[in-house]
Amino acid sequence: MVTIKKSYSLLLFCIPLLAAAQPATQHLSFVVTMNNPEEHRFQVTMHLDQLPGDSVDLCLPVWTPGYYQLMDFVRNLSDFSVKDGRFRWIKPDSATWRLYARKGTPLTISYTIKAEKRFVANPYLGADHAYILPGGVFLYPRGRLTQPVKVRVVPAPGWDIATGLERHGDSYYARDFDQLYDAPILAGKLETLPVFTVRGVPHIFTGIDLGDFDKTAFVHDLQQVVEAGVAMMGDIPYDHYVFLAIGDGNGGIEHANSCSLSFSGKHFSTEAGRRRMLSFIAHEYFHLYNVKCIRPVESGPFDYQQENRTNLLWVSEGFTVYYEYLLNKRAGLITPDELFRSLEKNIAAYENTTGHSYQSLTEASYATWSYGPFGGSLERSISYYDKGPAVAMLLDLAIRHETANRHSLDDVMVLLYRKFYQQKKRGFSDAEFRQACETIAGASLDDVFSYATTTRDLDYNKYLAYAGLTLERQEKVFHIHPLPAADSLQNAIRDSWMR
């Protein structure tokens, strides 16, 4: 472990800035000010050097990456004005401003964003901090999402700024709108914990209202989690990573090289609370691999004007739940029994819902935009956060068994990362995902995939037996425990699974 003094941590914010390539000439920039934070309103100015044609459509996204719901951000936008009388504009729809002028004319507009709801998927401004969720704040020119963007944030006096974006001079730089919309900006009186490095790459945990808890132990544990993820994937696809703690609340969202976390040190007052927080943070961190890099083809590049539906959220979310447990186990933060207790809770939540007879994992994945992660009415739907990790477990055990413990689900994740993220630079289809699993297993995985695409009952014990384990049900409670006797392959599979 490398311990770095706190005073050095702020310097590390600058390292990627020095190493980064200089941006191309900027044509599009924003300035965000927050003159009276307690009024919950950002003032935004947008400047475009030259109008790309005789007109331009400026649009606000209807959702934000990582939160699969339509958010109607545009209802918070007001006071839209154009600083030049040569322009006229109309509203072709509620989320679009169409401006007309001669091609090449410089354009400056301003508007206000009301930001009074504190939530991880919503922009917020208040007396003590600002959370700039870019999808809810920055308009984009339709058809020009690949445009580089410069953002200058003028915080309230005494506030610091943290974001995954690179800084150049007094501004932050995004190579395109996809990067901008996946890089929230937090401002306030931030507390930054000692920076840790993994393979030389700095990881920064910073935020508001962290509270009083053992921060040295926390940073150590967090580093173990990140190291477990990096060791599994064998590569770090970012040059710095920022954990943004946005205050107490519910939920977190993964982003390009950062994550937004509802966080409070008060949860560390009990051992169970500490484990829950580390599991939650491991989840958001592992999404950096499983969602940001390893992703269904529908999950980026995005259309910001409509839902981006996929059948595979059970992989993107369910497998991330499974790996949050495994990373915590591999980091030495939980025991095998504690890992089993977590899986048992997911299994119980799934088995005890009436929806398991009605909705498959692929259906729940597709439906989430309409109804949230439960994908429909509670009686007729399931959560891929519960059945997803259960099927991931069966898939992992099936691969370990089929390959006499030479391969595992880890190898599938690495294959997908290399083949699609690194080589093809795109997401995978449903069929390509299954093909990757069967390539690693060297066998058909028909049985396991039927658990994803149908409501068939899961045969947990067939797969748990591969690791010398069994699942017992007592009414609504499930318990994983060892079989009375296990052979050498069963023991080997269990040992390597629980390493």
- Per the structure block, which two tokens stand in for 451? 């658990």
How far, rounded to the nearest angstrom, does the alpha carbon of residue 393 sit from its chain's CA centroid? 21
CB of 289 to Zn ion, least distance (A): 12
Q: Is residue 48 within 8 Å of residue 28, measured between CB atoms?
A: yes
Alpha-carbon distance of 320 to 301, in angstroms, equals 21
75 exposure class (CB count in 10 Å sphere: 0-12, 13-18, 19+): exposed
Alpha-carbon distance of 401 to 443, in angstroms, equals 10
Which residue, 28 or 242, has its beta carbon nearer to Zn ion?
Answer: 242
- Please name the helix (run of DSSP H) or strand (run of DSSP E) that holds residue 265, with its range, or none: none
Which residue, 323 or 478, has its beta carbon nearer to Zn ion?
Answer: 323
Which residue, 16 or 388, has its beta carbon nearer to Zn ion?
Answer: 388
Total residues found in the chain within this entry: 499
Q: Is residue 62 within 8 Å of residue 71, measured between CB atoms?
A: yes
x/- map, 28-47, Zn ion, by CB under 5 A: --------------------
Which residue, 320 or 362, has its beta carbon nearer to Zn ion?
Answer: 320
Of the candidates 17, 343, 13, the one whose C-alpha atom is nearest the C-alpha of residue 204 is 13
CB of 342 to Zn ion, least distance (A): 15
CB of 322 to Zn ion, least distance (A): 11
CB of 226 to Zn ion, least distance (A): 17
Binding residues for Zn ion, total number by CB under 5 A = 2
Q: Is residue 225 within 8 Å of residue 278, measured between CB atoms?
A: yes
Which residue, 317 or 396, has its beta carbon nearer to Zn ion?
Answer: 317
CB of 114 to Zn ion, least distance (A): 28
* Residue spans of alpha helices (H) in 287-424: 313, 319-330, 336-351, 361-371, 384-402, 409-416
How far, rounded to the nearest angstrom, does the alpha carbon of residue 192 sit from its chain's CA centroid? 21
Which residue, 147 or 320, has its beta carbon nearer to Zn ion?
Answer: 320
x/- map, 70-89, Zn ion, by CB under 5 A: --------------------
Sheet of 140-141, strand order: 88-93, 96-100, 55-59, 140-141
Which residue, 317 or 402, has its beta carbon nearer to Zn ion?
Answer: 317
CB of 7 to Zn ion, least distance (A): 34
- Please name the helix (run of DSSP H) or strand (run of DSSP E) that holds residue 151, with its range, or none: strand 149-154
Of the candidates 383, 451, 445, 387, the one whose C-alpha atom is nearest the C-alpha of residue 412 is 445
CB of 463 to Zn ion, least distance (A): 24
Taking CB atoms within 8 Å and a gap of at least 24, the contacts of 85-93 are 92/57
Which residue, 184 or 194, has its beta carbon nearer to Zn ion?
Answer: 184
Q: Which residues, 320 to 379, sit near Zn ion by CB under 5 A?
A: 320
Which residue, 178 or 317, has its beta carbon nearer to Zn ion?
Answer: 317
CB of 253 to Zn ion, least distance (A): 8
272 exposure class (CB count in 10 Å sphere: 0-12, 13-18, 19+): exposed
- Per the structure block, which two tokens stand in for 198? 């993994």
Of the candidates 372, 414, 370, 365, the one whose C-alpha atom is nearest the C-alpha of residue 387 is 365
CB of 473 to Zn ion, least distance (A): 27
Which residue, 51 or 327, has its beta carbon nearer to Zn ion?
Answer: 327
Q: Which residues, 286 to 325, sit near Zn ion by CB under 5 A?
A: 317, 320
When CB distances to Zn ion are compared, the closest residue is: 317
Q: Which residues, 383 to 402, sit near Zn ion by CB under 5 A?
A: none
Tell me the chain's radius of gyration from C-alpha atoms: 24
Which residue, 299 or 320, has its beta carbon nearer to Zn ion?
Answer: 320
What secondary structure letter does DSSP report for 257?
A: S
CB of 151 to Zn ion, least distance (A): 26
Which residue, 249 or 332, has its beta carbon nearer to Zn ion?
Answer: 249
Alpha-carbon distance of 204 to 240, in angstroms, equals 8
- Per the structure block, which two tokens stand in for 124? 């917020």
CB of 167 to Zn ion, least distance (A): 28
Q: Which residues, 176 to 215, sit near Zn ion by CB under 5 A?
A: none
Which residue, 29 or 320, has its beta carbon nearer to Zn ion?
Answer: 320
Phi, psi of 417 (to 5 degrees): -60, -50
CB of 409 to Zn ion, least distance (A): 17
Sheet of 185-188, strand order: 116-119, 122-125, 129-132, 185-188, 160-163
x/- map, 429-468, Zn ion, by CB under 5 A: ----------------------------------------
CB of 369 to Zn ion, least distance (A): 15
- Footprint on this chain of Zn ion (rule: CB under 5 A): 317, 320
